[in-house]
């Protein structure tokens, strides 16, 4: 059978690659064409466009690149029509994917969505369009099934794919890792400033401003695979800061604490049982618009899933050197860490166990066969 998958960003590439592996196990003759990244390309199939070519962030940035984005949407539709897949699978990336899904459904293609758009965060009215344009939705957060049920839309909760992605990795030896990357023996504080240039620019300088206040620790920037080291160099001036690219999971596996830009990385950090401070700062205009649209009490997935504050969130004007120093000091305290570890365990139980990619693939392939 023929599968067309549309994913964006590093997280979409990761989850897309694991879904592709599961699909191939279900359907060894699968012909897969996709939009994604390096991880999906390693699985096989045909890469149409890399996510690096369409990494736009925030309302202002999207408006400035609107003509380019519309051109990509048009090209995606044309490419699907030429490929004639048995199913089109959309992964997250709602701004792009929901527009293509509307066309694909109307054109007679089977449409599946893996990892729901965050309609529960803002503009819930989009659920009606999703019901119209998406034949089957596979969600990865436990509260999403109940959310959609309120709109009479039956979706499949398949578990969270990060549980598989982390469980399948080989353990990292702390001493060997530090030696291999030129680090000393001090405990590591990981810095995860995001994957896009706009957010790294906003986040990293403030994260680095607390380095000299914690001389007993060494700070390691987890470089995104989508960015060159030369881009990060403009922010690094302290000898107590190291940079390691494309090794985020390895860094987290040996870290003592982390400063994390809000997004999927907050959940990844929690699943590695690393105490963290969640940070976020955007273009002020984008932030003011988002504040009026988003209705959530929290922005991190950890707090959203637990429905209470488990990790501290420093957002926009609260994201300062003073506050960051205070919160980092707090999560380095043994008593605070014990409570966080207990909360992280409860979080993992809520996510429903391993097998998300396999569960989704079975449902997708089974529906086509029927």
Listing DSSP states for 56-110 in one string gives --HHHHHHHTHHHHHHHHHHHHHHHHHH--SEEEEES-HHHHHHHHHHHHHTT--
The answer to whether residue 106 is domain-embedded is yes
The encoded tokens of residue 49 equal 């466009």
- Same domain, residue pair 131 and 192: no
Q: Do both 53 and 176 map to the same domain? A: no
CA distances from 121 to 101, 146, 189 (A): 20, 14, 30
If asked whether residues 87 and 30 sit together in one domain, one would say yes
Phi, psi angles (nearest 5°) of residue 158: -110, 0
Per-residue pLDDT band at 31 (split at 50, 70, 90): very high
Is the pLDDT reported for residue 5 higher than 80? yes
pLDDT of residue 187: 97
- Is 174 among the domain residues? yes
Instruction: Please indicate, yes or no, whether residues 301 and 192 belong to a single structural domain of this protein.
Output: yes
Q: Interior CA angle at 10 toward 8 and 12, to 5°?
A: 50
Q: How many helices (H) and strands (E) does the chain have?
A: 18, 13
pLDDT at 8 over 90: no
Reply yes or no on whether the pLDDT at 269 is more than 60: yes
User: Do 59 and 150 sit in the same domain of this protein?
Assistant: yes
For residue 146, tell me if it sits in a domain. Answer: yes
Q: Is residue 306 part of a domain?
A: yes
Residues in the chain: 370
**Interhelix angle for 334-350 vs 321-331, to 10°?**
80
Q: Which domain holds residue 243?
A: 169-350
pLDDT (tens digit, 9 = 90+) per residue, 113-163? 999 988 887 777 889 999 999 999 999 998 899 999 999 999 999 999 999
Which of the two residues, 127 and 93, has the higher pLDDT score? 127
Q: Could you read off the pLDDT of 223-250 as tens digits, one per residue?
A: 988 788 899 999 988 778 999 999 999 9
Do 63 and 199 share a domain, yes or no? no
Q: What is the pLDDT of residue 282?
A: 73
Q: pLDDT of 275-302, one tens digit each?
A: 999 998 875 655 555 555 565 678 899 9
Q: Higher-confidence residue: 118 or 219?
A: 219
Determine the average pLDDT of the residues in 351-364: 93
pLDDT for residue 51 is more than 80? yes
Query: Do residue 341 and residue 218 come from a single domain?
Result: yes
Better-scored residue on pLDDT, 92 or 360: 360
Tally of domains in the chain: 2
**What are 297-335's pLDDT values in tens digits?**
788 999 999 999 999 999 988 999 999 999 999 999 998
The conformation of residue 269, written as its DSSP 8-state character, comes to: H
- 82 shares a domain with 10: yes
Q: Are residues 189 and 325 in the same domain?
A: yes
Same domain, 204 and 113: no
Is pLDDT at 47 greater than 70 in this prediction?
Answer: yes
Residue 69 banded pLDDT, cuts 50, 70, 90: confident
| CATH number of the CATH domain containing 174 | 3.40.50.2000
DSSP-assigned letter for residue 158: -
* Residue at 164 is within a domain: no
Q: What phi, psi does 118 have (nearest 5°)?
A: -85, 60
Burial of 231 (0-12, 13-18, 19+ CB in 10 A): middle
Residues 194 and 107 in one domain: no
212 and 64 part of one domain: no
């Amino acid at each position: 059978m023929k599968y067309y998958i549309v994913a964006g960003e590093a997280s979409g590439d990761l989850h897309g690659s694991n879904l592709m592996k599961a699909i191939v196990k279900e359907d060894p003759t699968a012909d897969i064409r996709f939009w994604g990244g390096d991880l999906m390309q390693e699985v096989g199939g045909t890469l149409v466009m890399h996510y690096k070519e369409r990494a736009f962030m925030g309302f202002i940035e999207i408006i400035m690149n609107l003509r380019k984005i519309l051109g990509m949407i048009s090209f995606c539709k044309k490419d699907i029509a030429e490929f004639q897949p048995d199913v089109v699978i959309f992964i997250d990336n709602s701004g792009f994917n929901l527009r293509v899904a509307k066309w694909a459904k109307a054109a007679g293609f089977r449409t599946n969505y893996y990892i729901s758009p965050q309609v529960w965060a803002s503009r819930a009215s989009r659920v009606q369009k999703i019901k119209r344009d998406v034949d089957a939705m596979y969600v990865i957060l436990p509260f999403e099934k109940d959310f959609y049920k309120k709109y009479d839309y039956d979706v499949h909760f398949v578990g969270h794919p990060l549980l598989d992605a982390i469980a399948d990795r080989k353990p990292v030896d702390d001493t060997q890792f530090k030696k291999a990357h030129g680090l000393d023996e001090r405990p590591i504080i990981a810095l995860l400033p995001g994957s896009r240039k706009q957010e790294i620019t906003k986040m990293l300088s403030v994260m680095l401003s607390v380095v000299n206040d914690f001389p007993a620790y060494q700070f390691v920037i987890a470089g995104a695979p989508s960015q060159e080291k030369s881009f990060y160099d403009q922010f690094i001036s302290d000898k107590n800061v190291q940079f390691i690219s494309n090794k985020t999971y390895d860094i987290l596996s040996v870290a003592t604490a982390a400063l994390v830009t809000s997004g999927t990385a907050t959940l990844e950090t929690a699943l590695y049982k690393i105490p963290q401070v969640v940070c976020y700062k955007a273009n002020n205009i984008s932030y003011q618009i988002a504040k009026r649209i988003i209705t959530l009490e929290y922005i991190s997935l950890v707090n959203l899933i637990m429905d209470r504050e488990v990790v501290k969130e420093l957002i926009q004007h609260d994201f300062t050197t003073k506050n960051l120093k205070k919160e980092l000091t707090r999560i380095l305290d043994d008593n605070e860490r014990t409570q966080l570890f207990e909360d992280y365990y409860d979080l993992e139980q809520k996510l429903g166990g391993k097998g998300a990619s396999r569960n989704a693939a079975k449902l997708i392939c089974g529906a086509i066969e029927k």
